[in-house]
Amino acid sequence: MNNQFDTITFPSAPWCFNGHTHTVLCSLLFTAPALQSGRIVIDTPDNDFLELDIIEGQKNKPVCVLFHGLEGHTRRYYVARLAEQLVLRGFHVVMLNFRGCGSKMNKQRKFYHSGETDDIETVLNWVAKEFPNKPIFSAGFSLGASALLNFLKKHGTNHPLKSVAAISTPFELKKGCLNLEKGFNRLYSIRFLKTLTQKLETKRKRFPDLPVFTGSTLYDFDDQVTAPIHGFESADDYYARCSSYYFMDKIRTDTLVVHSKEDPMCPFKWTPFKTIAENPKCTSCFTEKGGHVGFWSLPPGWLNKTVTDYFESFPANGRTAL
């Protein structure tokens, strides 16, 4: 669907001279606003729990559900700043902490991954019951975007979401993972591996037979830990089954795809831009500048405004003509 979001310009801050600076500076210097949220815990069908942070909006406004990235949480600046903009527009906001990413370790062996859809289904079913008759939107960042797209592929149109935004999606999981071992990207990989291995050892106290990690890369972690815990034969099997690069033509829900052409972690060359352009349900917002999740704009807040504007282009019974 061609509209104003296809050609929208990202006004990059001049001091962010490449994708790394957008990614790193936003992460280091952007603070999360102090949101008046309340945390609740909901049960999952497999006798585990999920921690949600909820912000009540205006009575007759929609709901938006947010999903963070790898080793993130609801207090990360990119989640909280989008939530702040949504609340300013009156939205109710629900933010999920993936398993092991909240205030305490989850109870079951499984964690979360780029193709996890069961927990998204649990959250959306809860939202639909708690906010009856309200339009439901959703935005995912990085891994959260990948999981959200996997959910859309699995459920077709049989779900409560009116539209979604997928931000800095790792479309090609294997290529993206291997890319994190190159050059400056290795610093991102080391940071992810530190917390992933710490959580693995924490959970090992409850499940002594969990896989042992003996590698040094995220690919090794996915091959030795993520894959066997979550029912995949190997990292390659996990990546092949969950990479959204190969199924964007199957998305049947209105979806805004936001991706920087300078994204250092998930390079734009692995974005299925041709398939996205041919799918009438997909709207692309590909920026010349920007990083991975980090988009430092002048004036500030471009990403949050763009995503919220997109959701507001959908009235209660359809989409506004643009």
Place of tokens 């919220």: 308
CA dist., res. 208 & res. 206, Å (int): 6
* Higher per-residue confidence, 131 vs 322: 131
pLDDT per residue over 131-187, tens digit each? 999 999 999 999 999 999 999 999 999 999 999 999 999 999 999 999 999 999 999
Mean pLDDT across the stretch 69-76?
A: 98
pLDDT over 90, % of the chain: 94
If you ran DSSP here, which 8-state letter would residue 12 be given? Answer: B
Tell me the three state secondary structure of residue 272: coil
- The gap between the terminal CA atoms of the chain, to the nearest Å, is 10
pTM of the model: 0.96
CA dist., res. 98 & res. 67, Å (int): 8
Range scoring the smallest mean pLDDT among 3-12, 48-57, 143-152: 3-12
pLDDT per residue over 125-141, tens digit each? 999 999 999 999 999 99
* CATH code that applies to domain 4-172+245-312: 3.40.50.1820
Cβ atoms of 76 and 142 within 8 Å: the answer is: no
Best CA proximity match to 281, nearest among 255, 301, 320: 255
Mean pLDDT across the stretch 293-319?
A: 90
Give the pair of three-digit tokens for residue 148. 């959200």
What pLDDT, on a 0 to 100 scale, did the predictor assign at position 117? 98
Q: Please give the helix or strand (H or E) that residue 43 lies within, else none.
A: strand 38-43
pLDDT over 70, % of the chain: 96
What pLDDT, on a 0 to 100 scale, did the predictor assign at position 26? 97
What pLDDT, on a 0 to 100 scale, did the predictor assign at position 321? 36
What pLDDT, on a 0 to 100 scale, did the predictor assign at position 4? 63
Residue 318 has pLDDT above 80, yes or no: no
Helices of type H across 205-232: 218-221, 227-229
Domain range annotation of the chain: 4-172+245-312, 173-242
pLDDT per residue over 211-263, tens digit each? 999 999 999 999 999 999 999 999 999 999 999 999 999 999 999 999 999 99
Q: What is the mean pLDDT of the chain?
A: 95
Mean pLDDT across the stretch 12-27?
A: 97
Residue 292 has pLDDT above 50, yes or no: yes
Mean pLDDT across the stretch 15-37?
A: 96
What pLDDT, on a 0 to 100 scale, did the predictor assign at position 315? 79
Give the pair of three-digit tokens for residue 29. 């210097």
Residue 322 has pLDDT above 50, yes or no: no
Tell me the three state secondary structure of residue 285: strand
What pLDDT, on a 0 to 100 scale, did the predictor assign at position 306? 97
Buried b (16+ CB within 10 A) or exposed e, 26-41: bbeebebeebebeeee
